[in-house]
Amino acid sequence: MLKGEDIVVLLKLMAGSPAWTVRSLEAEIGIPRSVIQRSLVRLEQAGLLEEGRRRVNVGRAEELLVHGVKYVFPPVKGGETRGVPTAWAAPPLQDKLADSGELPPVWPDAMGNVRGIALEPLHDSAPEISRRDPALTELLALTDGIRLGDARVRGIAEELLRARLGSAALA
């Protein structure tokens, strides 16, 4: 059974260097090595990672992210809080949608600069990742757009995510 950190690791593998190591993943996403190691095993068992070739199966990853993530990891909302914007309140969706005037979804974070409605991130490291890795943050925000958004938001998020995954497959 996949866990939230597995999606974070999967997205990082797709957005990062093909010469990754468990140690480099730990340094870049702030998840302990032992957790990353177990995550890699689960990703391989799910057919999302070709361990012998150290490569993500982009087609299967796209299928999971576009069609399955909203069911496997349904959004859990909280109350009003300060945090890091996600989903349609963060790039790249933010640039594609008009501001509704409602409080945006945010990952709770004391160092965050936006007041909004708390959305439980796929992993607790998401706010820290947002300060270090803009490319991964965008992929996480697009994934949250798919998890949380209405049909229009999901459609735009899926299109942008597919475009990014397509370019990752060519790298």
What pLDDT is recorded for position 171? Answer: 42
What pLDDT is recorded for position 168? Answer: 52
Tens-digit pLDDT profile for residues 121-158: 999 999 999 999 999 999 999 999 999 989 999 999 99
Q: Is the dihedral of CA 165, 94, 149, 10 positive or negative?
A: positive
Asked if pLDDT for residue 110 goes beyond 90, the answer is yes
Using CA atoms, how far apart are residues 157 and 146, in angstroms rounded to an integer? 6
Among the listed residues 47, 49, 120, the one whose alpha carbon sits nearest the alpha carbon of residue 81: 120
Using CA atoms, how far apart are residues 129 and 146, in angstroms rounded to an integer? 19
What pLDDT is recorded for position 167? Answer: 55
Asked if pLDDT for residue 99 goes beyond 90, the answer is no
Asked if pLDDT for residue 56 goes beyond 50, the answer is yes
The conformation of residue 149, written as its DSSP 8-state character, comes to -
Place of tokens 């933010």: 94
**Residue ranges per structural domain of the chain:** 4-72, 77-149
Share of the chain above pLDDT 90, in %: 80
Using CA atoms, how far apart are residues 112 and 84, in angstroms rounded to an integer? 5
Among the listed residues 112, 116, 110, 145, the one whose alpha carbon sits nearest the alpha carbon of residue 131: 112
What pLDDT is recorded for position 81? Answer: 97
Among the listed residues 155, 29, 139, the one whose alpha carbon sits nearest the alpha carbon of residue 92: 139
Number of helices (H), then strands (E), belonging to the chain: the values are: 8, 5
Place of tokens 């004391």: 110
Please provide the average confidence, as pLDDT, over all residues in the chain. Answer: 91
